[in-house]
Amino acid sequence: MSVEKVLKLIKDEEAKIVDLRFVDLLGTWQHFSVPAHVIEEDTFTEGLGFDGSSIRGWQSINESDMLVVPDAQSAFLDPFTEVTTLNLICCILDPITKQPYPKHPRYITYKAQEYLKSTGIADTAFFGPELEFFILDSIRYDIKQNASYYFLDSQEGIWNSGKDEEPNLGYKIRNKEGYFPVAPTDSLQDLRTEMILNLEKVGIEVETHHHEVATAGQCEIDMKFSTLLDMADKVLKYKYIVKNTAAMYGKTVTFMPKPIFGDNGTGMHSHQSLWKDGKPLFAGNLYAGLSELAMYYMGGIIKHGKAIAAFTNPTINSYKRLVPGFEAPINLAYSSRNRSAALRIPMYSSSPKAKRVEVRFPDPSANPYLAFSAMLMAGIDGIINKIDPGEPLDKNIYDLPPQELANVPKAPASLEEALQALEDDHEFLLKGDVFSEDLIRTWIDYKKEKELKPYSMSINPLEFFMYFDA
How far apart are alpha carbons 155 and 159 in whole angstroms?
A: 9
Strand partners, 35: 17
Instruction: Tell me if 416 is assigned to a ligand binding site.
Output: no
Identify the DSSP state of 452: I
Is 358 annotated to bind ligand? yes
Structural element, H or E, at residue 299 = helix 292-303
- Tell whether 353 is in a known binding site: yes
Spatial distance between the Cα atoms of 311 and 371, rounded to a whole number of angstroms: 5
Residue 211 assigned as binding residue: no
Residue 130 assigned ligand-binding role: yes
CB neighbours of 427 closer than 8 A, spacing ≥ 6? none
Report whether 341 contacts 405 (CB < 8 A). no
Known binding residue 304? Answer is no
Cβ-contact 313, 362 below 8 angstroms:
yes
Question: Per the annotation, does 269 bind a ligand?
Answer: yes
DSSP codes of every residue in 46-97: H-EEEE-TTSTTS--GGG-EEEEEE-GGG-EE-SS-SS-EEEEEEEEE-TTT
Q: Is 272 annotated as a binding residue?
A: yes
Find out whether 132 is annotated in a ligand binding site.
yes
| CB of 332 closer than 8 Å to CB of 411 | yes
Determine if residue 145 is labeled as part of a ligand binding site.
Answer: no
Of 19, 67, 69, 73, the residue nearest 45 (C-alpha): 69
Give the closest residue to 232 by CA, choosing from 104, 357, 381: 104
Burial of 194: CB neighbours in 10 Å, binned 0-12, 13-18, 19+: middle
Asked if residue 404 belongs to a known ligand binding site, the reply is no
339 is in an annotated binding site: yes
Q: Is 220 flagged in the annotation as binding?
A: yes
Query: 39: Cβ–Cβ under 8 A, 6 or more apart, which residues?
Result: 6, 7, 10, 18, 70
Between CA 320 and CA 358 the distance in angstroms is 21
Residues with a catalytic annotation lie at 51, 130, 132, 212, 220, 269, 339, 358, 360
Largest interatomic CA distance in the chain: 71
What interhelical angle do 437-446 and 305-312 show, nearest 10? 70
List binding-site positions for ATP. 207, 271-273, 339, 353
Q: Which residues are annotated as a binding site?
A: 130, 132, 207, 212, 220, 264-265, 269, 271-273, 321, 327, 339, 353, 358, 360
- Binding-site positions for L-glutamate: 264-265, 321, 327, 339, 360
Residues of each annotated binding site for Mg(2+): 130, 132, 212, 220, 269, 358
